[in-house]
Amino acid sequence: MTETATTGTPADAEKSRRDFLLVTTSTVGVVGTALAAWPFIDSMNPAADVRALSSTDVDITPIEVGQAITVVWRGKPVFIRHRTSKEIDESAAMALEDLPDPETDADRVKKPEWLILVGICTHLGCIPLGQRKGEPKGEYGGWFCPCHGSHYDTSGRIRRGPAPKNLTVPTYAFIEDTTVRVG
């Protein structure tokens, strides 16, 4: 080592070669470990059987005007509300600039008399009240979340309280006039 050290350059070359080897092997090691971690992480994601339960068919004939039912889709409650014409008009008439999360009623329904929503408060996931007779519907005639006090209107839009977003509209389709497929 002494003779190379005195000449200078070969030692430097040796050093940078070693640095290069160190950096490349460590990089490959780190990337490899990260790749190997993925199967473990992904195993925690929804499994195939959970994903397979992706749609629910609902017969909507028994729901009368002004009534609502709750069905389960992917383990979540889904609200199906047969709106009255008054509720439909109120929702449509609402000025967008007065909404915290602006969306027209028309964008949130396929048929105005049927409002279909995921019944989970967009704040921290409680189920808002207002589905059953006698439950508080909040100040805007839709739903009221008791957990931290969010009020939703007759289109399921957030009007007041800590929830940041409107109640989610799930993907759904009317496969017949009397049957909805959620999911």
Partner 1 sequence: MTTPTWTNPIIKWIDYRLPIFTFTQHHLVEYPTPKNLNYWWNFGSLAGVVLVIMIATGIFLSMSYTPHVDYAFDSVERIMRDVNYGWLLRYLHMNGGSMFFIAVYIHVFRGLYYGSYKAPREILWIIGVIILFAMMATAFTGYVLPWGQMSFWAATVITNMFTAVPLVGEAIVNWLWGGFAVGNPTLNRFFSFHYLLPFIIFALVFVHLWALHVHKSNNPVGVDMKGPQDTIPFHPYYTIKDAYGMGVLMLVYLAFVFFAPNFFLEPDNYIEANPLQTPPHIVPEWYLMPFYAILRAFTQEFLWIPAKVLGVIAMFASVGILALLPWLDTSKVRSARFRPIYKQVFWLFFVDCLVLGYVGANPPEGYLILLGQVATAYYFLHFLVVMPVLGIMEKTRPVPDSISAAVTPGGTSGKEDT
Residue numbers at the binding site for partner 1 (CB under 8 A): 41, 44-47, 50, 70, 72, 74-77, 120, 122-127, 146-149, 162-164
Cβ proximity to partner 1: between 123 and 137 the closer is 123
Residue 117 engages ligand FES in binding (rule: CB under 6 A) = no
Decide if 158 contacts 170 (C-beta within 8 A).
no
Least distance CB 123 / ligand FES (angstroms): 3
Least distance CB 73 / ligand FES (angstroms): 19
Q: How far apart are the first and last CA of the chain?
A: 72
Nearest-angstrom CA–CA distance, 66 and 51: 33
148 is catalytic: yes
Nearest-angstrom CA–CA distance, 160 and 165: 10
Contacts of 165 (CB under 8 A, 6+ apart): 101, 122, 158
Residue 83 engages ligand FES in binding (rule: CB under 6 A) = no
* Binder among 11, 60, 147, 169 for ligand FES (CB under 6 A): 147
